[in-house]
Amino acid sequence: MQRPNAAQLTYGSATVVLTTVALLLLSGTTTTLGIAVICAAGLLLGALVAVTMPGRERPVNTPVNEEIRVPAQRVGAGAETRIGS
């Protein structure tokens, strides 16, 4: 399974918060069990939104076992080769 991208995380988190707040306001529950059930429902709905949202079209290219290239030092361009300084 691929890692979720930023849009999936954003939509999932927004769904959790908005669903939980809306259900708490609409239900008017004050019991601990009712609040826990509503929070669990919001969390499940947010996870469902994040998972069912389409992901990346193509995988991100990451270099695998690639050597780090360091530019070569220029010969004769340093201060030690100057005359009369």
Which tens digits make up the pLDDT trace of 14-37? Answer: 999 999 999 999 999 899 999 999
Position 59 in a domain = no
Q: Given this model, what pLDDT does residue 18 score? A: 95
Triad 56, 61, 66: Cα angle to 5°: 165
Q: Given this model, what pLDDT does residue 50 score? A: 87
Position 21 in a domain = no
> How many domains does the structure of the chain reveal?
1
Position 46 in a domain = yes
Position 42 in a domain = yes
Position 78 in a domain = no
Position 19 in a domain = no
Domain hosting 43: range is 30-54
Q: Given this model, what pLDDT does residue 40 score? A: 96
- Band of pLDDT at residue 69, cut at 50, 70 and 90: confident
Mean pLDDT across the chain, nearest whole number?
A: 81
Give the H or E element holding residue 37.
helix 32-52
Torsion of CA 73, 77, 80, 84, to 10 degrees: 180
Position 36 in a domain = yes
